[in-house]
Amino acid sequence: MSNNLITGFLTTAACVALQCVVVSLLLRSLVALQRTRSFRLTIPVASVMLTSVLLVMLAGNLLQIALWAGVFILYGEFQDFATAFYHSTVNFSTLGYGDIVLSKERRLLSGLEALNGVLMLGLTSSIMFAVLHAMAGYARAERERRDRESGPPEKIS
């Protein structure tokens, strides 16, 4: 059991590190985009940005699923990557179909991957919310700047 706990802990740590790199690169890209002089937050731009963020975060999650699948193959639980990846996806997303299960000796790893998935999918949701919140703040600040530049409204007599 301790071997599974150590493996689960180390794999989760690698997944967290991987997702932190993905988030850091994503946020760095968004900040660089926002700093360009021609950046205007229109509805199409916001839609593309949110879609891009979601797809990048999904790619990070899929890499983590692949990492877990690799662990399962390393321990001899599966012979082919496709089956290991499928099982890993079911665990990571906490679907838990149960159509394919690990051996009695390694089944704790499935639960540990599910915990990892809950954490990472929660992180994905929080990043999406943070980006949406930042975009709303940017739009509000831009609107306030335009209002200041145009001056007070003229009074009609």
pLDDT of residue 7: 95
Flag whether 156 is in a domain.
no
pLDDT of residue 72: 97
Q: Are 83 and 100 in contact (CB under 8 A)?
A: yes
Tally of domains within the chain: 1
Q: What is the CATH number of the domain that holds 130?
A: 1.10.287
* Whether residue 154 has pLDDT greater than 90: no
Flag whether 89 is in a domain.
yes
- Structural tokens at position 18: 């991987």
- Please, what is the average pLDDT of the chain? 89
pLDDT per position as a tens digit, 8-31:
999 999 999 999 999 898 888 888
Give the domain range for residue 124.
2-34+43-144
Flag whether 151 is in a domain.
no
* Whether residue 116 has pLDDT greater than 90: yes
Mean pLDDT of 147-155: 75
Flag whether 85 is in a domain.
yes
Burial string for 22-34 (b: 16+ CB within 10 Å, else e) reads: bbeebeeebeeee
pLDDT of residue 21: 93
CA distance linking residue 88 with residue 73, whole number of Å: 11
- Structural tokens at position 104: 């009695």
CA distance linking residue 5 with residue 3, whole number of Å: 5
Sign of CA pseudo-dihedral 93, 96, 100, 102: positive
